[in-house]
Amino acid sequence: MLAVCHKRSSAVTVMLALLLACTSPLTDAFTPSRTPPRRIPGRRATATAAPPAVVTEVTAAQVFGRLADKKLLLDVPGAGTPEMKDCCHGGCDNCDYSRVFDEMNAGKAKWVACYVVREHSDGRRHEAPVRDLFGGDERLGVAEFVARLGEVDPRPAMGARPADLTSDFDAAAAEGLVRKVVGGDEVSREAWGDALVAISGEAHGVAWRPWAKALVG
């Protein structure tokens, strides 16, 4: 009887040992690893990009009043031709230019021109206020561009509130606006006009309402 019990006990011991040997990999599989995650070679941790600056109506007015002008030349078919110049623009049905203008003027600064300099074939030329900011430079960093802008006295402008136009110039906020226009940290003389067209949808010059609509927010 004792021999039989001993044999059964040995068999149970062997079975338990086999069971533990089979289940140990499963146990190890569910054991949380304490090894730190591997870094992939060549991958660097990137800093979270700062959100774009929020442009207020005050900032938009401060910049608008320093870049807008009373005059605007339009790049339209027939611009600068004698026919365009001599047209009375009275809406005559038999005239190709009766409802087309190649120049617009206002009593106050009204448009930020979508160009730096424009000249028609008849010699009429307009230099936008932004030309003086560039001076002899083809490119400026946003900070330098805004520093020069801050030295310009704001002009009375149509649409914007006078109190906003003449408020203390906020250079940091203006930098946010300029970055929004150019899409980066550099302002190019060559690309300035195209950047204004792209952000405003205006082909020749940007008046206050489309300026604010495109930039405020």
Looking at the DSSP bridge assignments, the partners of residue 104 are 72
Amino acid 89: pLDDT: 83
Is 198 in contact with 43 (CB distance < 8 Å)? no
Quote the DSSP letter at residue 158: S
DSSP characters over 12-63: HHHHHHHHHHHHHHHHHHTSPP-SPPPPPTT----PPPPPPPPPPHHHHHHH
**73-128 confidence digits (pLDDT tens):** 999 999 999 989 888 888 888 888 888 999 999 999 999 999 999 999 999 999 99
* Region of poorest pLDDT, from 8-12, 104-108, 209-213: 8-12
Amino acid 20: pLDDT: 43
Give 24 or 156, the one with higher predicted confidence.
Answer: 156
* Region of poorest pLDDT, from 60-64, 95-99, 103-107, 201-205: 95-99
Rounded Cα gap, residues 64 and 48, in angstroms: 31
Amino acid 94: pLDDT: 85
Percent of the chain at pLDDT > 90 equals 66
Amino acid 24: pLDDT: 45
Q: For residue 62, what pLDDT band results from cuts at 50, 70 and 90?
A: very high
Residue bearing tokens 């690893």: 33
